Amino acid sequence: MKKLVNLRVIGAILFLFFLNHGLADGQTNPLLPTEAPPVISARSAVVMDAETGTILFSHNPAQVIAPASLTKLMTSYLCLRAIQTRKVSADDVVKLPPETWAENQPPRSSLMFLGRNQTVTLGELLLGMAVSSGNDAAVASALHIAPGLEAFIAMMNAEAGRLLLASTRFVEPAGVSPENTTSAIDLARFCRVYVNEHPDSLALLHSRPSLAYPLVANTGNELPRTILQYNRNTLLSRFSGMDGLKTGYIPESGYNIALTAIREENRFIVILLGSPNEDSRDRDGLALLEWVFSNYKTLRPNAIPIPALRIWGGKERYADLIPAEDLVFTVSSSRAGVLQMDTELFSYLKAPLAAGEQGGVLKISDGMGELRRIPLLLENEAVRGNFFQVLIENIKMFIQKKFGKSFE
């Protein structure tokens, strides 16, 4: 055990070294945390900025592990997209064939407790997946979205392919099979898409503390034998700002969790796969959340006017530039007191130039040095001028280069 701990400490030191490796002029890395990340017991983990996608911590991020009930996040995602595109409605009454009944789910299943002759809506099934992790709810939801389970599974895998989740493959919609596969990096990327496309699901579904089912409206019985279940993500009440997402467990995977929390407009995602038990999973989750919120923040600089680029030999003398990337980015909490933004435009670019070619750089700095460089790209094509325009421009450019006389 002592040797294992030493290896983890060395790994943390190497993590800090590589974050700071390769910087010029004595600058510190704007992503370098002020404190080392915690030592964790999970087999695989990733911490990501939900807005920028920046990976802030990883441990065996590509290791292939069964997602267990985290599979239900993809099932929910496809249902929410179908609702968003109005193919279905959250108020739809869902048919409950025998394969959806609780009594017909695999042994030791987590259940919403669906049964024969019940009336249930798709919205209730989404809650059943999010709060009580009902395998029955996952099957019923899948059958409402697609003509059969095979068709729904094909939808799941097609979506995983569209999102470039290289290690993710599904064979059923609930997460009971060890043949479902994913990785921590895949799940982090997927959860980022999920929370950004369906932010309302966090309050409506994933942070709901409990679910009581079935009710009178579901059974038509004045004594419906209601079962109260509490959200399986117990960290919702233990970490301020947490509002999702999901837990999962099967023996083949160990204990998994996908977490997200927001504080002061900073949202982070934590994925833990293959924890040895619930206590270690929750302890690691809390430690990583405390660490990431203490060490990082998301910056959203206001855009500045970008000067036009001088084009030589073009039909037009100037071309507009646009940033190649969003200005939002992640930095260490120790950085970015006062931001400074400067543009550096390339000199003596000649037409023709295609739209999207680089014409300069936008530099963002703070008092400690440069934080980020963003390429500036031509918004439109710069067309070559006629013979006389090119001739005159070439003469001007020669004089300006030779004698420093400006023709701007």
pLDDT, one tens digit per residue, over 309-321 is 999 888 999 999 9
Same domain as 124, residue 7: no
Q: What is the CATH number of the domain that holds 358?
A: 2.60.410.10
Q: What is the pLDDT of residue 238?
A: 95
Domain annotation covers residue 37: no
Look at residue 20 and tell me if it is in a domain.
Answer: yes
Is 39 within the bounds of a domain?
Answer: no
Instruction: State whether 118 and 192 are in the same domain.
Output: yes
Query: Residue 65 maps to which CATH number?
Result: 3.40.710.10
Mean pLDDT in residue range 355-361: 96
Comparing 44-53, 159-168, 186-195, 365-374, the range with the smallest average pLDDT is 365-374
The structural domain count of the chain equals 3
> What confidence score (pLDDT) does residue 1 get?
41
Lowest mean pLDDT segment, chosen from 7-11, 81-85, 208-212, 225-229: 7-11
Spacing of C-alpha 141 from chain mean position: 24
Residue 318 CA, chain-centre distance (Å), reads 38
CB 130 within 8 A of CB 208: yes
What pTM does this model have?
Answer: 0.87
Q: Cβ contacts of residue 184 below 8 Å, gap of 6+? A: 44, 45, 46, 58, 59, 60, 61, 62, 63, 65, 271, 272, 273
DSSP, collapsed to helix, strand or coil, labels residue 373 as strand
Q: How far apart are CA 270 and CA 284, in angstroms?
A: 10
HSE of 252, CA atoms in CB hemisphere, 13 A: 14
pLDDT reported for residue 25: 41
Nearest to 206 by CA among 198, 218, 214: 198
Task: For the chain, give the mean pLDDT.
Answer: 91
* Domain co-membership, 178 together with 278: yes
Per-residue pLDDT, 266 = 97
Using pLDDT thresholds of 50, 70 and 90, give the confidence band for residue 3.
very low
pLDDT band at 29 (very low <50, low <70, confident <90, very high): confident
The pLDDT of residue 6 is 47
Residue 408: pLDDT above 70? no
**CA dihedral for 50, 203, 153, 90, sign (positive or negative):** negative
Same domain flag for 115 and 146: yes
The arithmetic mean of pLDDT across residues 22-43, rounded, is 77
- 220 and 314 in a single domain? The answer is no
At residue 281, the pLDDT reads 97
256 shares its domain with 189? yes
> How high is the pLDDT of residue 398?
80
Domain span at 368: 309-403
Q: pLDDT category, 26, cuts 50, 70, 90?
A: very low
- What's the pLDDT at 407? 61
Q: Cis link prior to 245 (omega < 30° from 0)?
A: yes
pLDDT tier at 355 (50, 70, 90 boundaries)?
very high
Whether the CB-CB separation of 227 and 213 falls below 8 Å is answered with yes
Q: What is the pLDDT of residue 165?
A: 98
Does residue 21 register a pLDDT over 50? no
Residue 142's region, left for phi above 0, alpha for psi from -120 to 50, else beta, is alpha
d(CA 84, CA 197): 10
Q: Are 238 and 325 members of one domain?
A: no
Statement: residue 338 has pLDDT above 60: yes
pLDDT-above-70 percentage for the chain: 92
The candidate with the shortest Cα–Cα distance to 206, out of 131, 139, 121, 256, is 131
Same domain assignment for residues 244 and 175: yes
